[in-house]
Structure 1
Amino acid sequence: MDVSVFEVIGPIMIGPSSSHTAGAAKLARIAKDIVNASFNRVTFGLHGSFAMTYKGHGTDRALVAGVLGLYEDDEAIADSFELAKQQGLEYEFYEINLENVHENTVKITFLLEDGSNYYVIGSSIGGGQIIITNMNGFQTEFTAQYSTIMMKHYDRYGIVSEVSAILANSHINIATMRLNRNARGEEAFCIIDTDDIVPYDVKECIEQLDGVIQVQVINVND
């Protein structure tokens, strides 16, 4: 049986819990990176165990810390409420019942400065590891363990092969690729995990492809 050392000793973190504290902070931080836009209010819909124990385990402070960009080993997590106040960030926690998800799941909704909303649903699955299962209505399985390209585009012939060619020409190896679409010919969402860092010029090349709406890159060592 393959067991990660992180599942045995846990990540470097501010406690008390790798799932409820470290995982929550990472989850919220990655959600912030996915949104990649200015926001002034965040709501946290807490499901399952998160809803029952979030105050005692510091999940609330960890989630706020994450959307502020703090990492899970940052001692300032304990002061995240005060930091949010200083930055003018409003936040709210509420209970939610989500179907077919892990017990440590949260729906994070960002109110953007342009007046629109963007939500991310994700779970803290143990040992500080996370999985993002929904990005503003698009179903996915994003673990933030690889450098990742997230591409919103129109569902048209050849666009995925064009992206693959750009990566191949840049000597970037694809680890996994997942594609979801609302309907044939309409908007689609593609997530590509890579074994290599994705440089900014590669992101620009993908953005210039016909049919691409938006590209976001998250490099794991950023």
Structure 2
Amino acid sequence: LLGMEPDDERLADSLQLAYEAGMEVLFVPKGEKAEHPNSVKLLLKKGKRKLSVTGISIGGGNIQISELNGFKISLSMGTPTFIIVHQDVPGMIAKVTNILSETNTNIGTMTVTRESKGENAIMIIEVDDPQVDDTISKLTQLPKIDSVNYFD
């Protein structure tokens, strides 16, 4: 959230830096058993936008994302990746991939899954050399798109 690398000397002051950046940070211990001893669940809110992410520290400054907005996923960071939550409707995959083509963004891998027919679905798209701002702008304008997130 603050754009720091794992070896950033400012990490010790990250809570103060988050506060200065206008972020409210709350630690809420939970009684249930975590899927991994080094896991954390983040609930992020800004205006009407909400994002829930569960991540695992796997050592060496590396993390793995295991849940996004209730969808179980397995995402290792380090590859440019778009994560798009949308309504499961005919033609949605074509509309998204068309925008990626228009912005000259090559798809490396793509996974699509849904809760059930016509309900929420998620696309996880690993890409090469994305035009991030232009692509996100166009994707968020599509009807039936709930959220567009980008991880690098």
- One fold, TM greater than 0.5? yes
Alignment partner for residue 123 of structure 2, among 154, 174, 190? 190
1:18-33 matches, cutoff 5 A: 29=1
1:178 equivalent in alignment to 2:111 = yes
1:1-222 matches, cutoff 5 A: 29=1, 68-84=2-18, 86=20, 89-95=24-30, 96-98=32-34, 101-110=35-44, 112=45, 114=47, 118-218=51-151, 220=152
Identity value in percent: 33
Q: 1:153 to 1:73 in 2, by over 3 A?
A: same
CA deviation vs aligned residue, 1:49-88 (integer Å, no higher than 9, x gap): xxxxxxxxxxxxxxxxxxx443322211122344455557
**Conserved? CA contact 1:140–1:178, under 8 Å:** no
Provide the C-alpha distance between the structure 1 equivalents of 2:64 and 2:115, rounded to a whole number of angstroms. Answer: 21
Q: 1:125 to 1:186 in 2, by over 3 A?
A: same
Shift of 1:160: 0.7
Shift of 1:147: 1.4
Provide the C-alpha distance between the structure 2 equivalents of 1:129 and 1:217, rounded to a whole number of angstroms. Answer: 17
Q: How many residues align?
A: 150
Bigger strand share: 2
**Conserved? CA contact 1:121–1:134, under 8 Å:** yes
1:97 alignment partner AA: K
Provide the C-alpha distance between the structure 2 equivalents of 1:115 and 1:198, rounded to a whole number of angstroms. Answer: 26
CA RMSD of aligned residues (A): 2.6
For the pair shown, the structure with the greater C-alpha radius of gyration is 1
Provide the C-alpha distance between the structure 2 equivalents of 1:88 and 1:167, rounded to a whole number of angstroms. Answer: 32
User: TM-score, normalising length from structure 2?
Assistant: 0.79
Shift of 1:135: 1.2
1:71 alignment partner AA: E
